[in-house]
Chains A and B, each alone.
Chain A
Amino acid sequence: MDIVTPGFRGRRRERDRALPPGQYLAEDFPVLSAGPTPRVRPEGWRFTIETETGETHAWTWAEFLALPAETPRVDIHCVTRWSKLDTEWRGVALDTLLAGVDTAADFVMAHSFDGYTTNVPLEDLLDGQSWIAYEYDGEPLDSEHGGPARLLVPHLYFWKSAKWVRGLTLSHADEPGFWESSGYHHYGDPWREQRYQGD
């Protein structure tokens, strides 16, 4: 169906790279969250990975900062239609965190300090595809954008990159998280425009 709206021309902006369908380029860094911004202090921060057998691996803030870090430069795409190119982060790759974890699980639920959850297949977190990020643009990640640390999975819509992340649970079953239970797509690939269930 191609419904042309008479008189609409749009403001095409110059750009050297294609964006996923339906997205536009944002200069600022908008904020999308379902509730208030939790203020989490590094002193009370713990990051925990729990496997399908109940085995847990946990890091304090100091232990976490001592892990080898990477500085990914990635494009991010929010389901509310803004995209931002070449954003710079610093964080620990999930490959590093999962290296010593024994699991046969296929699915992951990310949990945040405010109760937020989101589901991601485990294979989408591995092979240099995701990080727990604690710096943005050379500065400590501020709380509005998920600090002290957030999940960063840039190849999926940005709601999958859980802010204020506190841990991951691994399991055999693919359960929906917070937005996924209220009509958003289970997987969320921006290039296939998987915004909502059924897309």
Chain B
Amino acid sequence: MGRLDWRVARLAGHRDETPTARTLLLDVPGWPGHLAGQHVDVRLTAQDGYRAERPYSLAAPSGGDRVELTVQRIGDGEVSPFLTEEMRIGDPFELRGPIGGWFVWRPADPAPVLLIAGGSGIVPLRAMLRAREEVGSRAPFRLIYSVRTPEDVYYADELRTPRPGVDVRLVYTRKAPDGARTAPGRLGLAELNSHGWPAEFAPNCFVCGPTGFVETVADLLLALGHDARRVRTERFGPA
């Protein structure tokens, strides 16, 4: 079996992250392993042979035949409402991967890391945080995570108590939690400046989320002096 052949995946369990996002725990016999940041292609086939395919990031580091995805439901979408609402435990579908060799964090790299997520863009970055923990890396990590409201935070328990060496900063764009000291607003230069790494530290920056978010943040990082070659981006699609 070639590395990128289609494999059968079965839904083994799921966990709701938010009212509109669900983590799917999949069993994929013979899964070849992957690096944090890579994605898979998912293929759904209807009874009459009609097919739909979409890319989804791997939400956790490699761990045997178990693969995790986290899918945000898009209201009028073809694939994401099915994956998050209709698929039942034990149901089969196909996936192939891992795909992508650029938007990846390599555990041997000791350089500081700056992760910046908008909405569901947290998914591959969470895999990087978990990979760091699993290999016992001491690379200093900072995560800036932009969400609409406190109810929209994925992996909330993990992010509330980050590992030593990991800083997490949440930015609320619509509604801040009660008692928050900053009003809701878009992620801007000031926030990136105080909660990111200085450009002189030459961090590896990973920016992921809706296209408009990624464009804005990548531009701000360049304005702050970060080297374009160290800013890696993954654009999920429209906001």
Contact = CB atoms under 8 A, between A and B. Distances in A.
B100 to A, nearest CB: 7
A66 interface: no
B189 interface: no
A192 to B, nearest CB: 15
A9 B43 CA distance: 12
B54 A81 contact: yes
Contact of B45 (A4, A114, A181, A198): A4
Interface string A1-37: 1111111111110000000001010001011111111
Given A30-B211, A32-B235, A197 B45 contact: no
A86 interface: no
Given A5-B91, A199-B4, A28 B238 contact: yes
Interface in B43-67: 43-47, 49-55
A198 B235 contact: no
Contacts of A6: 88, 91
Among B6, B49, B238: residue with most chain A CB under 10 A: B238
Interface string A120-134: 000000000000000
Contact of B2 (A35, A80, A198): A198
Tier of interface size on chain B: 35 or more
Among B55, B219, B233: residue with most chain A CB under 10 A: B233
B215 interface: yes
Nearest to A30: B237
Contacts of A114: 228
B51 A9 contact: no
Given A5-B87, A24-B78, A10 B52 contact: yes
A183 B235 contact: no
Contacts of B43: 22
Contacts, number: 110
Contacts of B41: 81
Interface in A99-139: 114-115
A2 B49 contact: yes
B229 interface: yes
A9 B55 CA distance: 19
Nearest to B4: A196
Interface in B142-196: none
20 contacts: A3-B8, A3-B45, A3-B92, A4-B47, A7-B88, A7-B91, A8-B45, A8-B82, A22-B43, A24-B52, A24-B78, A30-B235, A31-B235, A32-B235, A33-B235, A36-B218, A36-B219, A81-B41, A178-B102, A198-B4
Interface of B: 2-4, 6, 8, 41, 43-47, 49-55, 78, 82, 86-88, 91-94, 99-103, 211, 215, 218-219, 221-222, 228-229, 231-233, 235, 237-238
